[in-house]
């Protein structure tokens, strides 16, 4: 049994959005968000198609499961890459904040105390 043209089209849409997502740079959050939304819509469309097939009493081809598994693995790889990039960015930010504190400490004028001491 082979996949219907409609199912094949839905899978192509998912493959296209997954490929688009995989090619994006994590430094482009707007593009990543758009790609994730498109991918989510493609997955929802496939889920609706499967539900329709079940309601109609038709069996879903095993090829669909194989292609969905491959698409999920690609998505997982992207999310892992994104998590690694996020952690690297967080570590860079921590380092920059530490350096900024040091620079402020070295270059700043002494702060006048707002409290009264023994000198008045």
Q: Say what the pLDDT of residue 96 is.
A: 93
Cβ atoms within 10 Å, residue 65: 11
Q: Under a CB-based contact definition with an 8 Å cutoff, are residues 42 and 67 in contact?
A: no
Tokens of residue 42, six digits: 């493609």
**What would the pLDDT profile of 46-101 be if each residue is shown by its tens digit?**
989 889 888 888 888 788 888 888 888 888 888 888 888 889 989 999 999 999 88
What H or E segment, with its residue span, contains residue 84?
A: helix 62-107
Which of 75-86 are b and which e, b meaning 16 or more Cβ less than 10 Å from the residue's Cβ?
A: beebeeeeeeee
Number of continuous H segments (helices) and E segments (strands) in the chain:
3, 0
pTM of the model: 0.66
How much is the average pLDDT of 12-24?
86
Highest averaged pLDDT of the listed ranges 1-10, 17-26, 93-102? 93-102
């Amino acid at each position: 049994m082979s996949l219907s043209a409609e199912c094949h089209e839905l899978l192509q849409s998912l493959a296209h959005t997954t490929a688009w997502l995989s090619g994006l740079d994590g430094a482009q959050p707007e593009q990543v968000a758009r790609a994730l939304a498109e991918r989510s819509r493609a997955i929802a469309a496939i889920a609706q198609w499967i539900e329709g097939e079940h309601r109609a009493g038709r069996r879903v081809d095993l090829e669909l499961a194989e292609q969905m598994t491959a698409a999920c693995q690609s998505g997982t790889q992207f999310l892992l890459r994104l998590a690694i990039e996020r952690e690297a960015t967080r570590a860079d930010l921590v380092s920059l904040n530490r350096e900024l504190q040091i620079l402020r400490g070295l270059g700043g004028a002494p702060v006048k105390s707002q409290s009264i001491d023994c000198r008045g």
